[in-house]
Copies of this chain bind each other. A is one copy, B any other.
Amino acid sequence: MMQLPQPYLLFLGDVTDEIDAKTAFGLRDWAPELCVGEFVLPQATVTTGLPRLMPAAAHQRGARALVIGIAPDGGDIAPAWIPALLSALEAGLDLVSGMHVRLEEIALLEDTARRCGRRLINVRQPSRSFPVATGRKRSGRRLLTVGTDCALGKKYTALSIARAFGLRDVAASFRATGQTGIMIAGAGIAMDCVVADFVAGAAEDLSPDAAHDHWDIVEGQGSLFHPAYAGVALGLLHGTQPDVIVMCHEAGRKCVHGLAGFALPSLEEAIALNLHHARLTNPAARCAGVSLNTAKLSAEDAYRLLAKRSADIGLPCADPMRGGLAFDDLVTACLQA
């Protein structure tokens, strides 16, 4: 994995939906020391709260790359962003993108980058090919965060659990499978752009044989219940061979994000179907509990809901971003033999 130029200026483009800016929020929350500020277009209504800086000012404060911190559905670079990206190159910043489209496919970016001596870095382009999965059981232990939907906390849950394991002196590695995770961790595989036949094989590569007491904490992708992304979720589940899954959900979310016609499953159904598939490659797979994103609730409502859900399903249920005893219980359940 290449070493990304750092620190970053976070580009928010013309974003008006916080969910589309999850890369920027992820970097702000998990790698604040890498973020000198944000750069937004006038139409944007979302902010990270970081200082607003133009590229030249950011470069003066030490920034070395403009990170495209937004990821709209489909992963295209909007024409409206191009002048801003060009100004970043002119100001001496490399461009780091987690979009599906490669930066150099836009001739104006490639020409300007060459003229300015700057790099165009596509985090989402696998730098190598992957083998077909073998299903061979590997040494070491693995935890995978799965979800009822996309974009509801699988990455944050994995990062939180990896941090909590570290605090308990349990050897653990966060394994990134998406662009934001890779930017935070500095390594990983953008699972959703691996050629379909090799997704499970890439997941096997991502969490290789390890010491028997070492945990790989793998960031989940997609959802078995998403009409577009279920295949990625299933390949990652099979290839990871998780000993433990943690089911992630957002309180109050009823439908697949952006697809009102698709109702989300119950937590029980989501857990059962994920375990059913997980046991193909790891018959001992179990669910340690639920990570519930309660960001939209008051603290009082959140803790009441977490207690109720935990009682309903008979497993720890916590919001990692709120921590507390419930999260301690979830971490303990993950580590139980």
Contacts and interface: CB of A to CB of B under 8 A. Distances in A.
A100 interface: yes
A195 B194 CA distance: 6
A200 interface: yes
A241 to B, nearest CB: 9
Interface string A168-180: 0000000000000
A58 to B, nearest CB: 31
Contact of A192 (B131, B135, B196, B227): B196
Contact of A131 (B74, B224, B238, B261): B74
A5 interface: no
B225 A261 contact: no
How many interface residues does chain A have, given as a range? 35 or more
Nearest to A135: B227
A231 B195 contact: no
B281 A196 contact: no
Contact of A201 (B133, B197, B228, B230): B228
A134 interface: yes
Interface in A60-91: 73-75
B135 A262 contact: yes
A132 B192 contact: no
B200 A227 contact: yes
Interface in A245-300: 256, 259, 261-262, 273, 276-277, 280-281
25 contacts: A74-B131, A132-B228, A135-B259, A192-B197, A193-B195, A193-B196, A193-B197, A194-B196, A196-B196, A196-B199, A196-B231, A197-B229, A199-B231, A200-B227, A200-B229, A200-B230, A224-B277, A225-B280, A227-B238, A227-B281, A230-B280, A231-B234, A231-B238, A232-B235, A262-B280
